[in-house]
Amino acid sequence: MTPASPTLDQIRNFEGKYPKQLWALFFTEMWERFCFYGMRGMLTVFMVSNLGLDDPTANLQYGAIQAFVYAFTFIGGVFADKVLGFQKSLFWGALLMIVGGLVVAISPKEFFYIGICFSIIGTGFFKPNISTMVGQLYHTNDSRRDAGFSLFYAGINVGALLGGMIMVYVGKYHSWSWAFALVSVVMTISLVNFIFTRKSMGPIGLSPIHPDVPASKRKFMEIATYVGSLIAIPFILLLVTNTRYTDLFMYIIGPATLVYLGWEMRKFNKEENKRLGAALVFILFSILFWAFFEQSGGSLSLFALNNLKHTLLGIPMDPNVVNNSSNSLFVILFAAPIGILWVWLSKRGMEPNSVVKFGLGFLLLALAFYVFYATVFFADADGVTSLDVFTLGYFVITFGELCLSPIGLSLMTKLSPQSVQGLMMGMWFLASAYGQYVAGLLGAGMSIADENATNMAKLESYTTGYLQLGMYALIAGLVLVAISPFVRRLMRGIH
């Protein structure tokens, strides 16, 4: 190894709170999340205002697109584990997202769904593998891992803040073509950053294929993966544009994933399989969490479009910009302090275990939706309500997210044997796919299809739905706290 390409032990035996390689992954992920969250904030607004979809259909279409984005992270994780390795998977995913942005930018109305298909596959190869690389920077029992993922999560949200503010603003007030073109520009920055820093990763993320496999066979497997992902685009287009096929896909992919995991689990001992069982508990509850949380890109985005005042604390502000960026701003402000708090509590033997953290996440999620419901009490006669109260809901939901999402990323790497870490990270994001899918169904159920419905009718319909979501989140949080002793035993010493 040259000094520019360190060994795994050299990487992991770092001093201080964070390995230097974390910063390279931080910025690579930051720019990719700029694109992802910028796109997420634009989808329903674009579909309603430019594709002529009504609110329920836009919610369903949003849920379908986001579900496929996250479902393909599972597939990308599998191919990274078995063929490409994390680094080549990330590189290929970035290229596909660059192409996807350009395709939509050429003609947003005509090529929207085709470009989205490129982005779906690209995110599938990119997203789970960079998170897994973060986990591999640490020894198995390094207590600094959660703090590292919290910092990485802050990077995600720096990108989400910038993309959420800039892309939806450019799309609404200037040009949707320019907004989608930003995806290609910013993903190019992300890819260049990774190219110039990848040597610092040493052996992390290199090809998993055994060195004894002939080079010609290795090359064939890699090329087949690239070609196969391109061939899949017409099939994904069919699935995305027909929600009945989306239903069928979601009914199949989850059970098939569990069967595949069961096949892989035969290779592991009893203790490793118990830990994987604990990981599945976290994955199951995360589906519920994201089904509620991801109203932000669906029903809450349309709520912001129609039912919120254009002032925040007396300052003129577009409600969709606030909806798409306030959560990210709060995460940036509080992710590092929360991560440091976990380390501080850990040193004193007071840190709550991961199951309790998940439970707290749901309780805070419930409180946030009660705040969203409370906006109904501040509405005027036209059904337009307070952006200040709405933003308070995002302030509360941020702390729930910080109790769950970065901890979940860390747990997938701690509870999984190394040979299936890409698979388990993919399953974590597949749970998000189901959450997104259910989020679309919930959003459609809360919305009104009648184009002539008043803003007050829309306000009452959405806020009633948010009240129900708050109750369900409260029940889930209490259940998690109650079963925490059982899940801790499955975790076999992993905190």
Q: Which spans in 232-353 are helix H?
A: 233-241, 243-265, 270-293, 299-307, 319-347
Per-residue pLDDT of the chain (495 residues; tens, 9 = 90+): 445 678 878 888 877 778 888 888 888 888 988 988 888 888 888 888 888 888 888 888 888 888 888 778 778 877 887 888 888 888 899 999 999 999 999 999 889 999 999 999 998 888 767 777 887 888 877 777 767 777 787 788 888 889 888 988 898 888 999 999 999 999 999 999 888 888 888 888 787 787 778 888 888 988 999 999 899 899 888 888 877 777 788 888 888 888 888 888 888 888 888 888 888 888 888 889 989 998 888 889 889 988 999 999 999 999 998 998 898 899 888 877 887 787 788 788 787 777 888 889 999 999 999 999 999 999 998 889 999 999 999 999 999 988 877 677 677 777 777 777 767 777 777 788 888 888 888 888 888 767 777 888 888 989 999 999 999 999 999 998 888 888 888 776 565
Closest of 285, 326, 333, 300 to residue 479, by C-alpha: 285
Count of residues making up the chain: 495
In a domain, 238, yes or no: yes
Beta carbons within 8 Å of 300's beta carbon, 6+ residues apart: 323, 372
The SS3 call for residue 307 is helix
pLDDT reported for residue 473: 94
Both ends of the chain: CA-CA distance in Å?
A: 34
In a domain, 2, yes or no: no
In a domain, 6, yes or no: no
- Number of independent structural domains in the chain: 1
Name residue 245's amino acid: Y
CA distance 50 to 107: 12
The SS3 call for residue 316 is strand
Residue 425 is part of a domain; what is its CATH number?
1.20.1250.20
In a domain, 313, yes or no: yes
CA distance 164 to 186: 13
Beta carbons within 8 Å of 272's beta carbon, 6+ residues apart: 417
Q: Which two tokens stand for residue 88?
A: 């080549």
pLDDT reported for residue 406: 67
pLDDT reported for residue 3: 52
pLDDT reported for residue 88: 87
In a domain, 443, yes or no: yes
Q: What is the pairing mode between strands 315-316 and 311-312?
A: antiparallel
Q: Which residue has the tokens 């419930």?
A: 366
Structural contact between residues 372 and 394, judged by C-beta atoms closer than 8 angstroms: no
pTM to 2 decimals? 0.77
CA distance 41 to 45: 8
In a domain, 1, yes or no: no
Pick left, alpha or beta for residue 311 (phi over 0 → left; psi -120 to 50 → alpha; otherwise beta): beta
Domain that holds residue 220: 13-491
Pick left, alpha or beta for residue 494 (phi over 0 → left; psi -120 to 50 → alpha; otherwise beta): beta
DSSP string covering 99-158: HHHHHHHH-HHHHHHHHHHHHHHHHHHHHHHHHHHHHTTS-TT-TTHHHHHHHHHHHHHH
